[in-house]
Homo-oligomer: A and B are copies of this chain.
Amino acid sequence: MTWLEQIKWDLDGLVPAIAQERGSGKILMMAWMNSEALTLTRQTGHAVYWSRSRKKLWHKGEESGNQQVVHAIRLDCDGDVVLLEVEQKGGIACHTGRHNCFYRELQDDQWREILPVLKDPKQIYK
């Protein structure tokens, strides 16, 4: 079996892919990949995901310039989750203009924002 075949794709042909920032260790985001996205990620060295909402390949940073340079690709014990070690160009992974997507934390039974907006999304996506 090839390395791609060893992955347990779900019924939609996808796996969750977690992007972790090299150095800081912070989790930037979690998105989904199909076989083509992971192959392209491997070939280009830049993270390519599958957008479930737009139903097409999503070259991360294609609009914003905030690409993710992939340094390592890991697979979990069950073979159904991928972990990417990436360098986040521009220091912004989230479409809201924050460093990463996990900017809400549960405090007193409410989701509180704990990360600042570094750049106005209107400036990111023109």
Q: Which residues of A contact B (CB under 8 A)?
A: 2-3, 6, 16, 18, 20, 24-27, 29-30, 42, 72-78, 81, 83, 94-96, 98, 101-106, 109-111, 114
Give, as a whole number of angstroms, the nearest-CB distance from A3 to chain B. 5
Name the residue on B nearest A104 (C-beta). B75
Copies of this chain assembled into the complex: 2
Q: Say yes or no: A75 contacts B111, CB within 8 Å.
A: yes
A102 touches which of B3, B16, B74, B105 (Cβ 8 Å): B74
A74 CB contact (under 8 Å) in B24, B72, B95, B106: B106
Q: Contact at A76–B30, with CB atoms within 8 Å?
A: yes
Residue of B nearest to A105 (CB): B74
Q: Which of B30, B42, B73 contacts A18 (CB 8 A)?
A: B30
A21 nearest in chain B by CB position: B25
